[in-house]
Amino acid sequence: MCWINSDHRRYSQFVAFRVSEILEITEINEWRWVPTKLNVADDATKWTDQPDMTPDSRWFKGPDFLWRPEAEWPQSPAKSGSTIAELRPNLLLHYTVPEAVIDVNKFSSWKRLVNIVGYVYRLPANCKLKLQGKPIVSGPPTTEELKKAESYLHRHAQLEAYQGEVTLLRRAQEFPEEPRKQIPKNIEMYQLTPVLNQRGVIRMKGRTQFCDYVTEDAKNPIVLPHDHHLTTLIIAYYHQKYHHQNHDTTINEIRQKYKISRVRVCYAKVRRQCQRCKDDNSVPRPPIMADLPPARLAAFSRPFTHVGIDYFGPMEVVVGRRVEKRWGMLATCSTIREIHIELVHSLSTDSCIMALRSFIARRGSPRMIYSDRGTNFVGASRELRNAESAINQQAMMAEFVSSETKWLFNPPASPHMGGS
């Protein structure tokens, strides 16, 4: 009766499921209390080894009070009470998060943050010295002040991320005689075997306590949450300390003092946010190439329908006892990239016309000829620059331009417009 009249969610699953099934098909006011002596169901299991199962027994007729008016039925005891049997075990933690003196989210440097907290620790000590008439401490923070500052920042980050775990560890440290409540197994901190040191910082209990060659931080590293801003500042400090390089060495040095879950993921995030690493690793982004010109896509046309003309050289050849210069005229099919080379005796217009005639005699008359205007025949060659005025472009066009052939000159200083 206590279970039915109570919140079934407070009890174990065995009781809670059955009480919920009872309440789904019945109402609470339909249930009445019956004393054990009048409970007919107990006749089969209690009171006697040979229960009365005759047709006139109460096993078949029910208890005697059912034949009387309802007012004469047994009443529930005045003190119904409640039962604690089958209750779910509950663990209630109370903790307070002190307001931070310094907002760590406003800082981007770990050393600067530690120095400022060290000055904050110096302030009350200087006030006491001033009241006593003694000289106050000045200058950079001392080693002890920096240690206090680091411990405070570690405690602050741990209290924001592991509030329940910190409360349990402090309770176990203050009242060792009480039965210790274990950290739940589904929490990440459970596998680290956490302990509190003298400064109230959570450390991971290691197995190298008897090693004399490592520091206390390496034996019991400080536990820090991976998603806290303070952890990011510490990783960025080590990243800058090792000059943005030697990444495995940096991670190893971090692990010598701190236990940070997913430390490589955190370190990669710091590297992505580092401006110097962005500058060092940046690469130029070439623009997207334009569409190919129609001459490159002239399918089902004979070779050298679209031709690009250019000179290369000069080359020195021996004629008898003298040395003369010769040039090569390179004719390239823009569609299939076939090459035809003609020898040019000079940079004059007549030599160019003779070379083109020889080319047309072998390959046929092209429909489109591409060339530059002579300023970049062979790059910065002095010979071509001096002989630029010797080429009569009008005469060349008059010789080769017809109803079938068109000569297209590229703009100056734009050899890429000549295609291949």
- In this prediction, residue 381 has a pLDDT band, given cuts at 50, 70 and 90, of very low
Domain end residue (candidates: 231, 252, 280)? 280
Same domain, yes or no: 145 and 249: yes
Do 169 and 265 reside in the same domain of the chain? yes
Q: Who wins on pLDDT, 241 or 403?
A: 241
Contacts of 108 (CB under 8 A, 6+ apart): 233, 236
Examine residue 208 and state whether it is found in any structural domain, yes or no.
Answer: yes
Q: Is 198 within a domain?
A: yes
Nearest CA-CA partner of 244 in 275, 205, 284: 275
List all residues 6 or more positions away from 12 whose beta carbon is below 8 Å from its beta carbon: 86, 87, 88
Asked whether residue 266 falls in the same domain as residue 304, the answer is no
What value does the CA radius of gyration of the chain take, rounded to a whole number of Å? 48
Give the domain-ending residue among 280, 313, 338.
280
Share of the chain above pLDDT 90, in %: 30
Number of domains the chain contains: 2
Of 216, 245, 280, the last residue of a domain is 280
Same domain, 268 and 126: yes
pLDDT, tens digit (0-9, with 9 covering 90-100), for 115-149: 999 999 899 889 998 898 888 888 889 999 999 99
Note whether 230 and 331 are same-domain residues: no
Q: Is 414 exposed, middle or buried (0-12, 13-18, 19+ CB in 10 A)?
A: exposed
Other C-beta atoms lying within 10 Å of the C-beta of residue 290: 6
What are the tens digits of pLDDT across the range 193-216?
Answer: 888 888 889 999 888 889 888 888
Domain around 157: 104-280
Same domain, residue pair 328 and 299: yes
The band of 309, judged by pLDDT with boundaries at 50, 70 and 90, is confident
239 and 197, same domain (yes or no): yes
**Structure confidence by residue, pLDDT tens digits, 85-124:** 777 766 555 555 555 668 888 999 999 999 999 999 899 8
Integer distance in angstroms from the first to the last C-alpha of the chain? 96
- Global pTM? 0.52
